[in-house]
Structure 1
Amino acid sequence: MIDLVTKQDVILKVEVEGLSQRSVATKLGISRNTVKKYIQEYRNAREKFTDLSVENFALTEAILEKPSYNTEKRAKRKLTEGMMDRLDFYIKQNVQKRTDGRRKQQMKIIDMHEALLEQGFDIGYTTVRNYVREKEKTRKEAFIRAIYEPGVVCEFDWGEVKLEIGGRLKTYQLAVFTMAYSNYRFAKLYHSQQAVCFQDAHVEFFKHLARVPVQVVYDNMRTVVKKFIGTERELSPITMSIAAFYGFQVRLCNPRKGNEKGHVERSVEVVRRKAFSLHDSFDSIEQANEHLQTKLNKLNQRTRSNKTPSVLILEEQAVMTTPMGDFDASEIMNLKVDKYSTVTVKQNHYSVPDAYVGKTVRVKNGANSIRIFDNHALLAEHTRTWGVHEWRIDLYHYLTTLGYKKGALENSQGFKQAPKQIKFIYENYYTNNQKDFIALLHFIKEKNNLSEIITLIKALEKKPFFEFSTEKLIFLSQQKPEAPARPAGNQAIIDKSLENLSDYANLLNKEKEKQIS
């Protein structure tokens, strides 16, 4: 292969050093025809250069342009007409499959090559690849820059982020909204991309803005699109319900056209990097979301077109609609209470009052909480767990059963998950008296006064002759503090008497200190 240096060497040796073309060809080990070609190109260029009206492009190219060879008319040595017919058939099949929604069943180039080999053709993979790529070559797509009106378009997308929460490394889902006009960003972390999380993200965003945009743009995620019918798409009930509640339009991107929601595509990457590239370890997901909000506030303060997103969003809010309320982002289920007085949601157990064993209750499964109802009466509410085979037990739900199964108290799941104050009271004052302890729990549950009981216990401990019992705690808790009665009579006499009593008390205390010393 002749390179640029060889070409320049030929020109120098013939034109400058005066060597013959034959000797140069022999010396450089190349064809005499090649030497003749380079010299002729150079001399033709020099003739053009003598015309002052012509730029010296030809002469420059003759020296600096690498040698090239015309391969367009070169015949294909192994790719026969029969092979090309088969490859054209496979390419046509792939086009039909894309139209029918069977994109994942297309033949790849390697599949086409293997098919040709099985049919007895002798052909290499590279030749097949080059032919198919040339056939499938299409005109490059042109993009049209859009101009957005305030308050009209909002884009949504999910992103993944790996965080260490409570010492455990786990992948979390980042829900991101971006207003197209202002580039104002909002995001929140979730455990999953489930429907309730998708809906909860919208509730939080609309609550944050206190406004609703005209249109929200999505890609073809499963929570948004129920099914494809050819090129048509059917929205999921999840999407339709929240769109109907807030009154916004849903617009879907064309398949594999992320550029149609380019604001949020970029936002996912920016928010993830700015929020969690330096700090990715937290005690809880709540703490991580607080950190995320702090970073978002800084991003929304960055100047864009001489204004910050935080300023531009005010223009959008002025023309957007106000939500009528907050959508209840939850999945409703009717579940039967098992023998442990729990309902099972996504393989996790949540307790209800023990009187409901064997009954059917209504459960609202949300992104952050599990609420359990009997008709419209709230029976229990638990923080949702995203693990597997975990139990959320409220000790108060089992007081009736513990009344006649007192020995089960200490080893029960409910006692293990009880608040620290409850465990403290039991372990310090009721270890061998489960009956009175359960009676105290009944009182605390009824009055919702655990902090008050703790205060009373601390006050009783300070008394010199400390006697502790459930009856005393209940009695003291029910007493209302009364203001001390002020003695009637001449004010001056009263004040002087109080002063004398104070002095006398101080004198007695000094005498006691002398005796002790």
Structure 2
Amino acid sequence: METIAKIRRRHLVNGESISAIARSLNLSRNTVKKYMNAADEPRYLRQYQHKPQLGPFLAILDKWLEHDQLLPKPRRRTSRRLFEGLQNEGYHGAYDSIQRHVKIWKVSRDPSKLTQAFVPLSFAPGDVGQFDWSYEYVVLGGVSHTIKLAHFRLAYSRQMFVIAYPRETQEMVLDAHVKAFSFFGGVPRQMIYDNLKTVVQTVFAGKSRRFNGRFMTLANHYLFEPVACTPASGWEKGQVENQVGNIREWLFTPTPHFDDFSGLNAWLAQRCGELSSRRHPQRAETIAAAMRDERPALNPVSVPFNSYVEQPLRVSSTCLITIDRNRYSVPAAWAGKVISVRLSAEYVRAVADGLEIACHVRVFGRDQVFCDPWHYLPILETKPGALRHGTPFVNWTLPLSVENVRQALLTEPKGDRAFADILLGARDAGLEALDIACQLALEYGKPSAAVILNELRRLVEPPRAPSLDVPENLRLFTEPLADCTRYDSLLAVNHV
């Protein structure tokens, strides 16, 4: 536009000729003439885009697109795969040309792919919350990981909450809701979701859904209504969809470094609080101020939900149950039996006859074994030799005095039986009492199982009952005096 104004001033004000202007500005005379009568900014509309590289291959590309259109969506080739296929046919152009042509081709077949119009939405305080997952990259303990990030968003205040997990399993979904509602200080009346399997069991026509049973237990506990979006209609929860991109830019660029998930999630919760100081997009206040207005409208949380999923498992002959290719021990009494296993985001709990019989911190590697030595002590009654090479006992970290006793006993004949008896005697007392008993036995000299067990019994022996109150009618009013001289008479008799 500056060039047009310059041409018009030089000709109409300064009186320069068209030829002189064209030579000085390195333009053609026809261009100068066209600009002489232009008062508005020129608009350039390309009538046809030349495709010198792609042109000879358009027929092949369109044929491939027509063929893929008949296939199920997961089997259709992406623009990148089509580009690689054309390269094998001799194409030397850019990938962008393929991508642009594929987009135009799809829009020509389905005009609904053009930009759609939407109605602006407004929400009442405490009315709606939205949920979604995303994949992010972090470095944990010096190793790069792909994590799953659970996103929550309150539609009125725009308050966000995110928490990271190694997977998207149902116990992770349940745990994320517990943490989010605790962070918000309440529960919205509705929660909107995609049709993910951990939430929706069956999708029927329209809005009808059959929700997952365990998820509905969560919804009934917190008294919110779950709502599933129409398939492929992400705009129905557009706030949290937009939040995914924002969080990736604000919190995961560059890649954050932490020691573990605990440190990462503590930082994410802190950053969610800090980001609430931003201005609300539709109100003349901050997100934190809008959240203060919305919190009283949320349903209060009285008791947190117990976020676990339960499944029956058979215990192996080695007293192990298998969870996600990792094995955890349970008490030997349950070997070969079916028990109930409660999986949460952090723990693996074994339950039998309504009682918790084992609890392990959950790990997410593979092919790892976690044995609690106390679970295997009953086996030592018949198999004391397992002390020498049994996995639970070889890697058992014992107090120093107990380890010294162990090393001393295992060098003697039947030492494994003696140490097994010591451990069996300490099942109820615990390692702390056993440690003291072993220290006392080592002070006496060479330790033995009998001495240690005797010391252990003395340590854990319950206090003696107090002396009985003697009834008044049985109490002595005149107590006899001690007379030791009477023993002298006995000596005299014996002497005779």
Same fold, TM-score > 0.5, yes or no: yes
Distance in 2 between residues matched to 1:282 and 1:206, nearest whole Å: 25
Change over 3 Å in CA distance of 1:174–1:69 after alignment to 2: closer
Alpha-carbon distance in structure 1 between the residues aligned to 2:365 and 2:217? 28
Alignment partners' CA distance in 1, 2:166 and 2:403: 36
Trace 1:427-466 onto structure 2 (pairs within 5 A).
427-433=403-409, 434-447=416-429, 449-454=430-435, 460=440
Contact map agreement 1:415 1:423 (CA 8 A) in 2: no
Residues 180, 6 of structure 1: alpha-carbon distance in 2 compared, 3 angstrom cutoff: closer
**Hey, what's the Cα distance between the residues in 2 that align with 1:162 and 1:125?**
29
- 2:121 aligned to 106, 129, 146, which one? 146
Q: How does 1:167-178 map to 2 (within 5 A)?
A: 167-178=142-153
Residue of structure 2 aligned with 1:158, choices 133, 136, 148: 133
Return the letter of the residue paired with 2:309. E
Q: Provide the C-alpha distance between the structure 1 equivalents of 2:25 and 2:292, rounded to a whole number of angstroms.
A: 75
Q: Give the conservation status (yes or no) of the 8 Å contact 1:453–1:477.
A: no
- Identify the residue that residue 485 of structure 1 maps to in structure 2: none
State the one-letter code of the partner of 1:474: R
| Contact kept? 1:14, 1:24, Cα under 8 Å | no
TM-score computed with the length of structure 2 as normaliser: 0.68
Distance 2:74 2:100 in 1: 24
User: How far off its partner does 1:13 sit?
Assistant: 9.4
Which residue does 2:105 correspond to in 1? 132
1:186-225 equivalent positions in 2, closer than 5 A: 186-209=161-184, 211-225=186-200
Secondary structure of 2:137's counterpart equals strand
Residue of structure 2 equivalent to 1:363: 341
Q: Note the 1:17-416 alignment, pairs <5 A.
A: 35=29, 39=33, 42=36, 45=37, 58=38, 60-61=39-40, 65=42, 71=47, 102-104=72-74, 132=105, 135=108, 140-209=115-184, 211-228=186-203, 234-237=209-212, 238-269=214-245, 271=247, 280-300=256-276, 304=280, 309=287, 312-323=290-301, 325-416=303-394
Letter in 2 for 1:292: L
Q: Deviations over 1:362-381 (max 9, x none)?
A: 22222222222223132212
* Identity across the alignment (%): 23
TM-score (normalised: structure 1): 0.66
Q: Distance in 2 between matches of 1:70 and 1:167?
A: 52
Render the CA deviation track for 1:40-80: whole Å, top value 9, x for unaligned: 773xx3xxxxxxxxxxxx4x45xx748x68959x9xxxxxx
Aligned position for 1:470: 453
> How far, CA to CA, are the matches of 1:440 and 1:211 in structure 2?
53
**Deviating more after overlay: 162-171 vs 264-273:** 264-273
Deviation at 1:175, TM superposition (A): 1.8
User: What CA distance in whole angstroms lies between the structure 2 residues aligned with 1:189 and 1:479?
Assistant: 49
**How far off is 1:385 after superposition?**
2.0
Describe the superposition over 1:258-312 as per-residue Cα deviations: whole angstroms up to 9, x where unpaired.
4433433344455566656678444433333333333334334666557655554
SS at match of 2:33: helix
Kept in 2, the 8 Å contact 1:362–1:375? The answer is no
Query: What residue is the counterpart of 1:79 in the other structure?
Result: none
The CA RMSD measured in Å over matched residues stands at 5.1
Unaligned ranges ≥5, structure 2: 50-57, 87-96, 410-415, 466-496
Residue deviations 1:436-495, cap 9 Å, x none?
Answer: 443443344324x4345446666x49979897723213312436599xxxxxxxxxxxxx
Whole-Å separation in 1 of the counterparts to 2:297 and 2:26 = 79
Q: Is the contact between residue 436 and residue 470 of structure 1 (CA under 8 Å) also seen in structure 2?
A: no
CA distance in 2, matches of 1:253, 1:352: 42
Distance 1:367-1:126 versus aligned 2 partners, 3 A rule: closer
- Spell out the pairing of 1:474-489 with structure 2 (5 A cutoff): 474-478=457-461
Q: CA distance change for structure 1 residues 386 and 481 in 2, over 3 Å: closer, same or farther?
A: farther
Q: Do the aligned partners of 1:10 and 1:35 also contact (CA within 8 Å) in 2?
A: no
Mapped to 2, the partners of 1:439 and 1:409 lie a distance apart of 11
Change (3 A) 1:104 1:228: farther
Quote the offset at 1:340 in angstroms. 0.7
- Whether the 8 Å contact between 2:310 and 2:342 is mirrored in structure 1 is yes
Residue aligned with 1:298, SS: helix
Query: What is the distance in 1 between the residues matched to 2:444 and 2:98?
Result: 95
The alignment of Structure 1 onto Structure 2 pairs a total of residues equal to: 437
| Cα distance between partner residues in 2 of 1:291 and 1:131 | 44
Give the Cα–Cα distance (whole angstroms) in 2 for the partners of residues 278 and 106 of structure 1: 33
Q: 1:133 to 1:431 in 2, by over 3 A?
A: closer
SS at match of 1:386: coil
> Letter of the aligned partner of 1:213 in structure 2?
P
Contact 1:151 1:319 in 2 (8 A): yes
Could you tell me which amino acid in structure 2 is paired with residue 290 of structure 1? A
Say if 1:359 and 1:148 are closer, same or farther in 2 by CA, change over 3 A.
same
Could you list the per-position Cα deviations for residues 155-197 of structure 1 after superposition, in whole angstroms to 9, with x for gaps in the alignment? Answer: 1122333333344332222222222222333333222101111
**Structure 1 residues 205, 452: CA separation in 2 closer, same or farther (over 3 Å shift)?**
farther
Where in structure 1 are there 5+ consecutive unaligned residues? Answer: 46-57, 75-82, 116-123, 483-517
